[in-house]
Amino acid sequence: MATKVRKQEIVSDLQGLFDNGKVAIVTDLSGFTVAEISQFRRKLDKDSAKCQIAKNTLIKIAAGDGEFKAIAELAKGPTAVVIGYDEPAGPAKTTVEFLKSIKKGAIRGAVLEGKLISTSDVKSLAELPSKDQLLSSIMGGLDSGARGIAGILEATIRDIALLVEEVAKKNNAA
């Protein structure tokens, strides 16, 4: 059993994780080995996310009345919280794919922008393209638009040049 000091440290750590978080995904990682949890945490590091396993009462205390207070509804049974700091889709995608590949664990739901979202919503969030993919598609669209404009301007200049050439030929003939 954890001492009061240790519990305060855990709550403090959780509050630190919640402070700058954008999304908190609540999962059940029961049955996982230490190696599997370590592998999961390494994958989350790539998405600017952290995974913390703690007692439900400590998670509820740490969430307090802040943006993640709705997490109290999901913190039942063995609980692990995945907190994402950058974009919400990355940690959701990593969590869904990892649980699917390992065939253990479950997603209970998440808190996004202070609102509770369901398991199916988390899975939908995981299907969204990443921020980098969205930016590259926007840049591709902008690039193709610029190329189209450049082509139109080039054609207009070519047409003016041909027109000037024809006028010059007519003036020379006359």
For residue 71, the 8-state DSSP code is: G
75 CB contacts (<8 Å, ≥6 apart)?
A: 26, 56, 59, 60
- The percentage of residues in the chain with a pLDDT greater than 90, rounded to a whole number, is 1
With a cut of 70, say whether residue 33 has pLDDT above it. Answer: yes
Please report, in angstroms and rounded to a whole number, the separation of the first and last CA atoms in the chain: 107
Q: What is residue 2's predicted lDDT score, i.e. its pLDDT?
A: 65
> Measured between alpha carbons, how far is 35 from 49 in angstroms, rounded to an integer?
18
CB-based contact 107:96 (threshold 8 Å): yes
Q: What is the pTM of this model?
A: 0.69
With a cut of 80, say whether residue 19 has pLDDT above it. Answer: yes
Q: What is residue 86's predicted lDDT score, i.e. its pLDDT?
A: 81
CB-based contact 87:113 (threshold 8 Å): no
With a cut of 60, say whether residue 1 has pLDDT above it. Answer: no
User: Average pLDDT over the chain, rounded to whole?
Assistant: 82
